[in-house]
Chain A
Amino acid sequence: DVKVTQSSRYLVKRTGEKVFLECVQDMDHENMFWYRQDPGLGLRLIYFSYDVKMKEKGDIPEGYSVSREKKERFSLILESASTNQTSMYLCASSPSGTLYGYTFGSGTRLTVV
């Protein structure tokens, strides 16, 4: 079964901390995406990657960075966590093209205090 695994289900971090959210997929997908999900705002794209070492900004990249050193792993980095980054973070992957849509991970609920 196809899987996207996010390393943590729940995280609590302090303001100003550097936070790493990890995502691994086992489907050999080219594309990987990070979204944040907030009530009433739906899913908003933070960053995405179409290939190893490649990254593109999404709609809300401020305060975030990403790393993709290997095809299967896409990390989201909060350089200095702030309370407005408290959210549900969703990782997704897809083959090149969207014929099959995305496969999503279970999400990481991050609380910044």
Chain B
Amino acid sequence: AQSVSQHNHHVILSEAASLELGCNYSYGGTVNLFWYVQYPGQHLQLLLKYFSGDPLVKGIKGFEAEFIKSKFSFNLRKPSVQWSDTAEYFCAVNERRDDKIIFGKGTRLHILP
């Protein structure tokens, strides 16, 4: 079955620490990849996306993600986190032949001031 796996359910970091959130997917075909973020009390918003081209994509607020096709991975990174990055992060995938996006279970990130 198609699935998206996020490695960590809950991550706690101090400000200025580096962040990497793991995401793997199990699709055989060509995919589009997304990271969404949900700040406390707010709606889900798109952080970044990959469709084609450079596998290293940059998003808002200093986030980036790298698509590694051979590993079916799309990990999210940020070199130095801030307290305002406290949120829940969702990795998501869709096959190009379909408009449905499948989401992972989410990673709650808590940044200590």
Instruction: Indicate whether A31 sits within 8 Å of B99 (C-beta atoms), given known contacts A43-B90, A99-B51, A101-B46.
Output: yes
| Interface hit among B12-20, B63-71, B75-83, B101-109 | B101-109
Query: In whole Å, how far is A58's beta carbon from the nearest beta carbon of chain B?
Result: 8
- Contact, CB under 8 Å: B106 / A42: yes
- Contact, CB under 8 Å: B99 / A104: no
Task: Render A36-69 as a binary contact track against B, CB cut-off 8 A, 1 for contact.
Answer: 0000111101001010000000100000000000
- Contact, CB under 8 Å: B99 / A94: yes
**Residues on A with beta carbons closer than 8 Å to the beta carbon of B94:** 98
Describe A's contact surface by its main secondary structure.
Answer: loop
- Contact, CB under 8 Å: A102 / B101: yes
Question: Which one, B9, B45, B99, contacts A98 given CB within 8 A?
Answer: B99
* Chain A interface residue count, Cβ-Cβ cutoff 8 angstroms: 25
Interface positions of B (Cβ within 8 A of A): 9, 32, 34, 36, 42-46, 49, 51, 90, 92, 94, 99-106
Give 28 A-B contacts (CB < 8 Å), ordered by A residue: A31-B99, A33-B100, A35-B103, A40-B105, A40-B106, A42-B90, A42-B104, A42-B105, A43-B103, A43-B106, A45-B100, A45-B102, A48-B99, A90-B44, A92-B44, A94-B99, A96-B99, A98-B32, A98-B99, A98-B101, A100-B46, A101-B36, A101-B92, A102-B46, A104-B43, A104-B45, A106-B43, A107-B43
CB contacts under 8 Å to B, within A91-113, are 92, 94, 96-102, 104-107
Question: Which one, B34, B99, B101, B103, contacts A50 given CB within 8 A?
Answer: B99
Interface positions of A (Cβ within 8 A of B): 31, 33, 35, 40-43, 45, 48, 50, 58, 90, 92, 94, 96-102, 104-107
- Contact, CB under 8 Å: A101 / B34: yes
Q: Which 4 A-B pairs have the closest CB atoms?
A: A42-B105, A43-B103, A104-B44, A106-B43
Query: In whole Å, how far is B43's beta carbon from the nearest beta carbon of chain A?
Result: 5
